[in-house]
Amino acid sequence: MGQVIGITGGIASGKTTVGELIRAAGFLVIDADQVAQELIASPSIVHELAERFGSRILNRDGSLNRAQLSQIVFGHASKLQILNELTQPVIRQQLLAQMDAARAGESKVFFEIPLLFEQHYERLVDQIVVVSVPEQQQLTRLMQRNGFTKAQARVRINSQLPIAQKCQRADFVLDNTQGPHELAQQVQALLTQI
């Protein structure tokens, strides 16, 4: 059985970049966001979401309008909880199946998941890597990347456990304040340690 290493951090902290660097080094990386997006777009889940949140979350072709759904749930704890109750069990089941299959065939599997602590996946991984940036840098990156206002970005950041708390629970912390070259060096050092 292979070792599973969880990669987490806050939104816009650089988890995806770290995942890409690890993938480029020849390791398998399971991207929880990608799995979740595919599952949430499935007709059965879209139907359930439309039942709960109304047809305004649908595009004209009946597909999910993720931006509209995000606008409805972020900043509204009860609506976000409903979304999580509908989607997280299905996402968890798929992620666990992928993790088990990968663990059987690989010596090391990386599991990139933004909500590792929030959804209690920490019990399912052998080690945890947190990608860290200061909150102001995180806020700026998120605003630039997604075109959010400061208030919209702050709501997204506040919906997750603070990065500082994630760092306290990590086996490894990658500091993503300097830039891509420095981050790549840290990833290389990480890969030699685990």
Query: Domain 3-193: which topology?
Result: Rossmann fold (3.40.50)
17 annotated among ligand-binding-site residues: yes
Whether residue 12 is annotated as binding a ligand: the answer is yes
Question: Which among 31, 33, 72 is positioned nearest to 49, based on CA atoms?
Answer: 72
Going by C-beta distance under 8 Å and a sequence separation of 6 or more, which residues neighbour residue 119?
88, 92, 113
What is the pLDDT tens value at each position of the chain, 194 positions in all?
789 999 999 999 999 999 999 999 999 999 999 999 999 999 999 999 999 999 999 999 999 999 999 989 987 889 999 999 999 999 999 999 999 999 888 889 999 999 999 999 999 999 999 999 999 999 999 999 999 999 999 999 998 999 999 999 999 999 999 989 999 999 999 999 98
In contact, 111 and 126? CB cutoff 8 Å: no
113, 99 Cβ separation under 8 angstroms: no
Residue 104 marked as a ligand binder: no
Beta strands, E only, the chain = 3-9, 28-31, 108-112, 127-132, 172-175
Report domain extents, the chain.
3-193
Give pLDDT, residue 51.
Answer: 95
- Does 15 count as an annotated binding residue? yes
Residue 166, annotated ligand binder? no
Q: What's the pLDDT score for residue 77?
A: 86
Asked whether the beta carbons of 20 and 33 are under 8 A apart, the reply is: no
* Residue 58, pLDDT score: 96
Closest residue by Cα to residue 127 from 36, 33, 35, 190: 190
- 14 appears as a binding residue in the annotation: yes
* Other CB atoms within 10 Å distance of the CB of residue 175: 15
Question: What is this structure's pTM?
Answer: 0.90
